[in-house]
Protein backbone atom coordinates (compact mmCIF):
# COMPACT_ATOMS: atom_id res chain seq x y z
CA UNK A 1 0.00 0.00 0.00
CA UNK A 2 1.38 3.39 -0.96
CA UNK A 3 1.51 5.97 1.81
CA UNK A 4 1.13 9.72 1.43
CA UNK A 5 3.11 11.94 3.78
CA UNK A 6 0.87 14.68 5.14
CA UNK A 7 3.76 17.02 5.84
CA UNK A 8 6.71 16.11 3.61
CA UNK A 9 10.15 17.55 4.30
CA UNK A 10 10.80 21.07 3.04
CA UNK A 11 14.18 20.90 1.25
CA UNK A 12 15.35 24.41 2.12
CA UNK A 13 14.62 24.03 5.83
CA UNK A 14 16.25 20.59 5.84
CA UNK A 15 19.33 22.06 4.15
CA UNK A 16 19.74 25.09 6.41
CA UNK A 17 19.40 23.19 9.74
CA UNK A 18 22.74 23.22 11.55
CA UNK A 19 24.58 25.22 8.89
CA UNK A 20 24.27 28.61 10.57
CA UNK A 21 25.99 27.37 13.72
CA UNK A 22 28.62 25.49 11.72
CA UNK A 23 29.53 28.36 9.40
CA UNK A 24 32.43 30.67 10.11
CA UNK A 25 30.74 33.42 8.10
CA UNK A 26 26.95 33.60 7.79
CA UNK A 27 25.68 35.23 4.59
CA UNK A 28 22.36 33.38 4.74
CA UNK A 29 20.60 34.70 7.84
CA UNK A 30 18.58 37.85 7.32
CA UNK A 31 17.66 38.66 10.95
CA UNK A 32 18.98 42.06 11.96
CA UNK A 33 20.74 40.75 15.05
CA UNK A 34 20.77 43.84 17.19
CA UNK A 35 21.30 41.40 20.07
CA UNK A 36 24.15 39.03 19.30
CA UNK A 37 23.57 36.63 22.20
CA UNK A 38 20.93 34.04 21.34
CA UNK A 39 21.83 31.89 24.35
CA UNK A 40 20.71 34.45 26.93
CA UNK A 41 17.48 33.76 28.81
CA UNK A 42 16.47 37.40 28.34
CA UNK A 43 17.89 38.91 25.15
CA UNK A 44 20.43 41.61 26.08
CA UNK A 45 18.44 43.95 23.87
CA UNK A 46 15.58 43.72 26.40
CA UNK A 47 17.46 43.15 29.62
CA UNK A 48 16.72 45.62 32.41
CA UNK A 49 13.98 47.46 30.52
CA UNK A 50 10.61 48.16 32.10
CA UNK A 51 7.36 46.57 30.92
CA UNK A 52 4.15 48.32 29.87
CA UNK A 53 1.66 48.57 32.72
CA UNK A 54 -1.59 47.35 31.27
CA UNK A 55 -1.43 47.04 27.47
CA UNK A 56 -1.60 43.55 25.98
CA UNK A 57 0.49 42.39 23.04
CA UNK A 58 -2.66 42.13 20.95
CA UNK A 59 -3.56 45.73 21.83
CA UNK A 60 -0.06 46.92 20.93
CA UNK A 61 -0.24 45.25 17.51
CA UNK A 62 -3.81 46.45 16.88
CA UNK A 63 -2.70 50.02 17.56
CA UNK A 64 0.27 49.73 15.22
CA UNK A 65 -1.82 48.36 12.36
CA UNK A 66 -4.83 50.57 13.17
CA UNK A 67 -7.21 47.61 13.32
CA UNK A 68 -9.56 46.27 16.01
CA UNK A 69 -8.13 43.68 18.38
CA UNK A 70 -10.45 41.09 16.84
CA UNK A 71 -8.38 41.40 13.66
CA UNK A 72 -5.16 40.35 15.43
CA UNK A 73 -3.89 36.87 16.32
CA UNK A 74 -0.52 36.42 18.04
CA UNK A 75 1.22 33.24 16.86
CA UNK A 76 4.32 31.20 17.65
CA UNK A 77 6.42 32.86 14.97
CA UNK A 78 5.88 33.80 11.31
CA UNK A 79 5.89 30.21 10.04
CA UNK A 80 3.07 29.41 12.43
CA UNK A 81 1.27 32.56 11.31
CA UNK A 82 1.52 31.56 7.66
CA UNK A 83 0.34 28.03 8.41
CA UNK A 84 -2.68 29.23 10.37
CA UNK A 85 -3.52 31.90 7.80
CA UNK A 86 -3.28 29.33 5.01
CA UNK A 87 -5.51 26.89 6.88
CA UNK A 88 -8.08 29.59 7.62
CA UNK A 89 -8.19 30.90 4.05
CA UNK A 90 -8.62 27.40 2.63
CA UNK A 91 -11.32 26.56 5.18
CA UNK A 92 -13.26 29.73 4.41
CA UNK A 93 -12.94 29.15 0.66
CA UNK A 94 -14.56 25.74 1.16
CA UNK A 95 -17.56 26.90 3.18
CA UNK A 96 -20.90 25.97 1.67
CA UNK A 97 -23.64 28.52 0.96
CA UNK A 98 -26.07 28.99 3.83
CA UNK A 99 -28.88 27.32 1.86
CA UNK A 100 -26.71 24.23 1.40
CA UNK A 101 -27.43 24.23 -2.36
CA UNK A 102 -24.08 23.25 -3.81
CA UNK A 103 -22.90 21.09 -6.68
CA UNK A 104 -21.75 17.69 -5.37
CA UNK A 105 -18.74 17.57 -7.68
CA UNK A 106 -17.59 20.97 -6.40
CA UNK A 107 -18.00 19.90 -2.79
CA UNK A 108 -16.03 16.70 -3.34
CA UNK A 109 -13.16 18.61 -4.96
CA UNK A 110 -13.04 21.36 -2.33
CA UNK A 111 -9.75 20.06 -0.91
CA UNK A 112 -8.11 21.09 -4.19
CA UNK A 113 -8.66 24.81 -3.90
CA UNK A 114 -6.18 26.76 -5.98
CA UNK A 115 -3.42 28.78 -4.32
CA UNK A 116 -1.21 31.05 -6.41
CA UNK A 117 2.36 31.53 -5.13
CA UNK A 118 4.87 34.00 -6.53
CA UNK A 119 7.85 32.72 -8.51
CA UNK A 120 10.67 32.95 -7.56
CA UNK A 121 9.48 32.39 -4.03
CA UNK A 122 10.24 31.15 -0.55
CA UNK A 123 9.87 27.38 -0.55
CA UNK A 124 7.81 26.93 2.67
CA UNK A 125 5.09 29.18 1.24
CA UNK A 126 4.54 26.57 -1.48
CA UNK A 127 4.88 23.56 0.80
CA UNK A 128 2.29 24.69 3.35
CA UNK A 129 -0.79 24.94 1.08
CA UNK A 130 0.33 21.81 -0.75
CA UNK A 131 0.50 19.88 2.53
CA UNK A 132 -2.98 21.14 3.40
CA UNK A 133 -4.39 19.70 0.18
CA UNK A 134 -4.52 22.74 -2.06
CA UNK A 135 -3.50 22.83 -5.70
CA UNK A 136 -0.49 25.14 -5.87
CA UNK A 137 0.08 27.09 -9.08
CA UNK A 138 2.55 29.88 -9.73
CA UNK A 139 2.56 33.42 -11.02
CA UNK A 140 5.79 35.03 -12.12
CA UNK A 141 7.59 38.04 -10.72
CA UNK A 142 9.84 38.45 -13.78
CA UNK A 143 13.54 39.03 -13.05
CA UNK A 144 13.80 40.88 -16.35
CA UNK A 145 11.22 43.36 -15.02
CA UNK A 146 12.95 43.75 -11.66
CA UNK A 147 10.64 41.28 -9.86
CA UNK A 148 7.71 43.70 -10.09
CA UNK A 149 4.28 42.69 -8.85
CA UNK A 150 1.86 42.61 -11.78
CA UNK A 151 -1.81 42.16 -10.89
CA UNK A 152 -2.66 40.69 -14.28
CA UNK A 153 -0.59 37.65 -13.32
CA UNK A 154 -3.28 36.73 -10.79
CA UNK A 155 -6.08 37.43 -13.25
CA UNK A 156 -4.41 35.26 -15.86
CA UNK A 157 -3.66 32.31 -13.59
CA UNK A 158 -6.74 32.14 -11.34
CA UNK A 159 -9.29 29.38 -11.93
CA UNK A 160 -12.80 28.93 -10.56
CA UNK A 161 -11.22 27.14 -7.59
CA UNK A 162 -9.01 30.12 -6.70
CA UNK A 163 -8.71 30.61 -2.92
CA UNK A 164 -5.86 33.05 -2.41
CA UNK A 165 -2.55 34.35 -3.74
CA UNK A 166 0.54 34.91 -1.61
CA UNK A 167 3.33 37.44 -2.00
CA UNK A 168 6.25 38.47 0.15
CA UNK A 169 7.13 42.11 0.76
CA UNK A 170 10.05 42.71 0.67
CA UNK A 171 10.19 39.98 -1.93
CA UNK A 172 12.13 36.98 -0.70
CA UNK A 173 14.65 36.32 -2.29
CA UNK A 174 15.26 39.47 -4.35
CA UNK A 175 14.67 42.21 -1.75
CA UNK A 176 12.29 44.12 -4.04
CA UNK A 177 9.95 46.37 -2.04
CA UNK A 178 6.37 46.82 -3.29
CA UNK A 179 4.41 50.00 -2.65
CA UNK A 180 0.99 50.18 -0.99
CA UNK A 181 -0.71 51.02 -4.35
CA UNK A 182 0.95 47.99 -5.98
CA UNK A 183 -0.28 45.77 -3.16
CA UNK A 184 -3.74 47.30 -3.52
CA UNK A 185 -3.81 46.33 -7.19
CA UNK A 186 -2.91 42.76 -6.24
CA UNK A 187 -5.68 42.72 -3.62
CA UNK A 188 -8.23 43.94 -6.17
CA UNK A 189 -7.12 41.28 -8.66
CA UNK A 190 -7.41 38.55 -6.02
CA UNK A 191 -10.83 39.84 -4.95
CA UNK A 192 -12.06 40.01 -8.54
CA UNK A 193 -10.92 36.41 -9.01
CA UNK A 194 -13.05 35.36 -6.03
CA UNK A 195 -10.28 34.94 -3.46
CA UNK A 196 -7.96 36.69 -1.05
CA UNK A 197 -4.44 38.07 -0.87
CA UNK A 198 -1.94 36.88 1.77
CA UNK A 199 1.13 39.07 2.26
CA UNK A 200 4.11 37.84 4.28
CA UNK A 201 5.52 41.08 5.71
CA UNK A 202 8.44 39.86 7.81
CA UNK A 203 10.73 42.02 5.66
CA UNK A 204 8.34 44.98 5.31
CA UNK A 205 10.12 47.06 8.00
CA UNK A 206 13.39 46.87 6.04
CA UNK A 207 13.03 50.50 4.97
CA UNK A 208 15.42 53.38 5.61
CA UNK A 209 14.36 56.01 6.38
CA UNK A 210 11.26 54.70 8.09
CA UNK A 211 7.91 54.96 6.32
CA UNK A 212 4.56 55.74 7.94
CA UNK A 213 3.42 52.12 8.22
CA UNK A 214 3.72 49.64 11.11
CA UNK A 215 7.34 49.18 12.24
CA UNK A 216 8.33 51.91 9.79
CA UNK A 217 7.51 49.77 6.80
CA UNK A 218 4.85 49.30 4.14
CA UNK A 219 1.81 47.17 4.86
CA UNK A 220 -1.11 45.67 2.97
CA UNK A 221 -3.18 45.51 6.17
CA UNK A 222 -6.64 46.94 5.70
CA UNK A 223 -6.87 46.24 1.97
CA UNK A 224 -9.98 44.31 0.83
CA UNK A 225 -9.85 40.55 1.44
CA UNK A 226 -6.22 40.83 2.53
CA UNK A 227 -4.35 39.06 5.32
CA UNK A 228 -0.83 39.95 6.44
CA UNK A 229 1.66 38.11 8.61
CA UNK A 230 4.69 39.42 10.47
CA UNK A 231 7.06 38.68 13.32
CA UNK A 232 9.75 40.02 15.65
CA UNK A 233 12.32 37.62 14.16
CA UNK A 234 13.76 39.58 11.25
CA UNK A 235 13.74 43.31 11.89
CA UNK A 236 13.90 43.13 15.67
CA UNK A 237 16.41 40.26 15.67
CA UNK A 238 14.42 38.42 18.37
CA UNK A 239 14.12 35.00 16.76
CA UNK A 240 14.34 33.20 20.11
CA UNK A 241 10.99 34.63 21.22
CA UNK A 242 9.10 32.93 18.36
CA UNK A 243 6.53 35.72 18.21
CA UNK A 244 4.53 36.30 15.04
CA UNK A 245 1.06 37.52 14.15
CA UNK A 246 -1.80 37.56 11.69
CA UNK A 247 -3.62 40.77 10.80
CA UNK A 248 -6.76 40.34 8.74
CA UNK A 249 -10.53 40.22 8.44
CA UNK A 250 -12.21 39.04 11.63
CA UNK A 251 -13.57 35.88 10.00
CA UNK A 252 -10.08 34.81 8.92
CA UNK A 253 -8.54 35.63 12.29
CA UNK A 254 -11.26 33.76 14.16
CA UNK A 255 -10.87 30.66 12.00
CA UNK A 256 -7.08 30.83 12.46
CA UNK A 257 -7.63 31.15 16.21
CA UNK A 258 -9.76 28.00 16.21
CA UNK A 259 -7.09 26.12 14.26
CA UNK A 260 -4.36 27.33 16.63
CA UNK A 261 -5.92 25.23 19.39
CA UNK A 262 -4.35 22.18 17.73
CA UNK A 263 -0.83 23.57 18.20
CA UNK A 264 1.33 24.63 21.15
CA UNK A 265 0.30 28.06 22.38
CA UNK A 266 2.51 31.12 22.45
CA UNK A 267 4.79 30.87 25.49
CA UNK A 268 3.87 33.38 28.17
CA UNK A 269 7.50 34.52 28.76
CA UNK A 270 7.85 35.17 25.02
CA UNK A 271 4.66 37.20 24.94
CA UNK A 272 5.79 39.26 27.92
CA UNK A 273 9.18 39.97 26.38
CA UNK A 274 7.48 40.86 23.08
CA UNK A 275 5.32 43.40 24.96
CA UNK A 276 8.52 44.84 26.40
CA UNK A 277 10.11 45.01 22.96
CA UNK A 278 7.17 46.91 21.48
CA UNK A 279 7.07 49.19 24.52
CA UNK A 280 10.66 50.21 23.75
CA UNK A 281 10.30 50.06 19.99
CA UNK A 282 11.81 53.46 19.22
CA UNK A 283 15.27 52.52 20.49
CA UNK A 284 15.14 48.98 19.09
CA UNK A 285 14.05 50.12 15.65
CA UNK A 286 16.71 52.82 15.55
CA UNK A 287 19.39 50.19 16.21
CA UNK A 288 17.89 47.81 13.66
CA UNK A 289 17.70 50.53 11.03
CA UNK A 290 21.36 51.39 11.65
CA UNK A 291 22.23 47.73 11.00
CA UNK A 292 20.04 47.72 7.90
CA UNK A 293 21.55 50.87 6.44
CA UNK A 294 25.15 49.86 7.05
CA UNK A 295 24.65 46.29 5.82
CA UNK A 296 22.88 47.54 2.70
CA UNK A 297 25.82 49.79 1.88
CA UNK A 298 28.27 46.95 2.49
CA UNK A 299 26.33 44.61 0.21
CA UNK A 300 25.79 47.17 -2.54
CA UNK A 301 29.48 48.12 -2.58
CA UNK A 302 30.55 44.48 -2.60
CA UNK A 303 28.33 43.55 -5.55
CA UNK A 304 29.36 46.65 -7.50
CA UNK A 305 33.03 45.65 -7.09
CA UNK A 306 32.54 42.06 -8.29
CA UNK A 307 32.60 41.92 -12.11
CA UNK A 308 31.59 38.25 -12.13
CA UNK A 309 28.28 38.93 -10.34
CA UNK A 310 25.04 40.22 -11.81
CA UNK A 311 21.83 41.18 -10.06
CA UNK A 312 20.47 44.18 -8.24
CA UNK A 313 20.76 45.19 -4.61
CA UNK A 314 17.44 46.97 -4.20
CA UNK A 315 17.38 50.30 -2.34
CA UNK A 316 17.47 49.75 1.40
CA UNK A 317 17.70 45.96 1.13
CA UNK A 318 20.29 43.97 3.06
CA UNK A 319 19.83 40.85 0.93
CA UNK A 320 19.91 40.22 -2.82
CA UNK A 321 19.43 37.49 -5.43
CA UNK A 322 22.51 37.27 -7.62
CA UNK A 323 24.06 35.21 -10.41
CA UNK A 324 27.66 34.35 -11.27
CA UNK A 325 28.81 34.62 -14.88
CA UNK A 326 30.39 31.16 -14.94
CA UNK A 327 28.95 29.08 -12.09
CA UNK A 328 25.44 28.15 -11.01
CA UNK A 329 24.03 28.74 -7.56
CA UNK A 330 24.99 25.34 -6.16
CA UNK A 331 28.56 25.63 -7.40
CA UNK A 332 28.92 29.06 -5.79
CA UNK A 333 27.30 27.89 -2.57
CA UNK A 334 29.42 24.72 -2.40
CA UNK A 335 32.65 26.65 -3.00
CA UNK A 336 31.68 29.14 -0.30
CA UNK A 337 30.81 26.36 2.16
CA UNK A 338 34.20 24.72 1.65
CA UNK A 339 35.67 27.99 2.90
CA UNK A 340 33.33 28.39 5.88
CA UNK A 341 30.95 30.84 4.20
CA UNK A 342 27.21 30.12 4.21
CA UNK A 343 25.39 31.21 1.04
CA UNK A 344 21.93 29.96 -0.01
CA UNK A 345 21.69 28.35 -3.47
CA UNK A 346 18.91 29.65 -5.67
CA UNK A 347 17.37 26.24 -6.35
CA UNK A 348 15.49 26.74 -3.07
CA UNK A 349 13.91 29.82 -4.68
CA UNK A 350 13.07 28.33 -8.11
CA UNK A 351 16.26 29.67 -9.73
CA UNK A 352 19.14 27.16 -9.85
CA UNK A 353 21.43 29.64 -11.61
CA UNK A 354 21.21 32.13 -8.76
CA UNK A 355 22.12 32.40 -5.08
CA UNK A 356 21.00 34.65 -2.24
CA UNK A 357 23.35 36.80 -0.18
CA UNK A 358 21.95 38.18 3.06
CA UNK A 359 23.58 40.43 5.64
CA UNK A 360 21.79 40.27 8.97
CA UNK A 361 24.46 40.33 11.61
CA UNK A 362 26.76 42.88 13.15
CA UNK A 363 28.16 45.03 10.32
CA UNK A 364 31.74 44.27 11.37
CA UNK A 365 31.01 40.56 11.12
CA UNK A 366 29.27 41.08 7.80
CA UNK A 367 32.25 42.96 6.40
CA UNK A 368 34.49 40.05 7.37
CA UNK A 369 32.03 37.60 5.79
CA UNK A 370 32.02 39.52 2.53
CA UNK A 371 35.81 39.61 2.50
CA UNK A 372 35.85 35.83 2.90
CA UNK A 373 33.28 35.40 0.16
CA UNK A 374 35.28 37.72 -2.07
CA UNK A 375 38.23 35.37 -1.68
CA UNK A 376 35.96 32.49 -2.75
CA UNK A 377 34.99 34.41 -5.90
CA UNK A 378 38.65 35.17 -6.62
CA UNK A 379 39.46 31.45 -6.40
CA UNK A 380 36.61 30.59 -8.74
CA UNK A 381 38.03 33.05 -11.27
CA UNK A 382 41.45 31.37 -11.30
Question: What is the DSSP annotation of 118-185?
Answer: EES--HHHHHHHHHTTPEEEEEE--GGGTT---THHHHHH--TTEEEEEEESS-TTT-PPPPHHHHHH
Helix (H, G, I), strand (E, B) or coil at 41: coil
d(CA 48, CA 57) in angstroms, rounded, equals: 19
Nearest residue to 317 (alpha-carbon basis) of 343, 291, 342, 336? 291
Structural domains in the chain, sorted by start: 11-30+282-381 (3.90.1150.10), 57-279 (3.40.640.10)
Helix (H, G, I), strand (E, B) or coil at 345: strand
**pLDDT at residue 110, as a whole number:** 46
Longest dimension (CA), the chain: 72
d(CA 265, CA 261) in angstroms, rounded, equals: 7
Q: How does pLDDT run across 37-81, given as a tens digit for each residue?
A: 556 788 888 999 999 988 999 999 999 999 999 999 999 999 999
Residue 349 has pLDDT above 90, yes or no: yes
d(CA 60, CA 42) in angstroms, rounded, equals: 20
147 CB-contact burial (10 Å; exposed 0-12 / middle 13-18 / buried 19+): buried
Opening angle at CA 5, ends 106 and 83, nearest 5? 70
Nearby residues of 96 by Cβ (< 8 Å), 6 or more positions away: 102, 107
Asked if 206 contacts 318 with a C-beta cutoff of 8 angstroms, the reply is yes
d(CA 115, CA 43) in angstroms, rounded, equals: 38
**pLDDT at residue 44, as a whole number:** 87
Opening angle at CA 84, ends 196 and 231, nearest 5? 95
Mean pLDDT of 180-190: 98
Torsion, CA 321, CA 326, CA 332, CA 335, rounded to 10: -160
Mean pLDDT of 181-196: 98
In percent, the amount of the chain with pLDDT more than 70 equals 93
Asked if 166 contacts 118 with a C-beta cutoff of 8 angstroms, the reply is yes
Asked if 78 contacts 262 with a C-beta cutoff of 8 angstroms, the reply is no
Q: How does pLDDT run across 251-279, given as a tens digit for each residue?
A: 999 999 999 999 989 999 999 999 999 99
354-358: strand order across its sheet = 309-310, 319-324, 354-358, 344-345
**pLDDT at residue 36, as a whole number:** 56
Nearest residue to 216 (alpha-carbon basis) of 121, 160, 119, 287? 287
Residue 314 has pLDDT above 50, yes or no: yes
Q: How does pLDDT run across 77-116, given as a tens digit for each residue?
A: 999 999 999 999 999 997 744 444 444 444 444 447 999 9
Mean pLDDT, the chain, rounded, equals: 92
244-247: strand order across its sheet = 72-75, 244-247, 226-231, 196-200, 162-168, 114-119, 135-140
Q: How does pLDDT run across 109-163, given as a tens digit for each residue?
A: 444 799 999 999 999 999 999 999 999 999 999 999 999 999 999 999 999 999 9
Q: What angle in degrees, to the nearest 10, is found between the helix axes of 363-381 and 281-304?
A: 20
End-to-end CA distance of the chain: 53
Amino acid sequence: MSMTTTFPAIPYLEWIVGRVDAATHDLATSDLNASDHDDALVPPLLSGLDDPDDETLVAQLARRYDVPESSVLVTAGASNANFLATSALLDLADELPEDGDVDTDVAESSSRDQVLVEKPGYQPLLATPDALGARVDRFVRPPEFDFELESNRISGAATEAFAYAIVTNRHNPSGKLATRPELAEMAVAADDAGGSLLVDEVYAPYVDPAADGPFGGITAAGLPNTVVTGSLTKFYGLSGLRIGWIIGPEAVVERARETSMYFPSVADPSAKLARRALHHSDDIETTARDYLSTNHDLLASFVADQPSLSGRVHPGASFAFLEHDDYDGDEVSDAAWENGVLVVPGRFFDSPDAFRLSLGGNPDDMAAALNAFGTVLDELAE
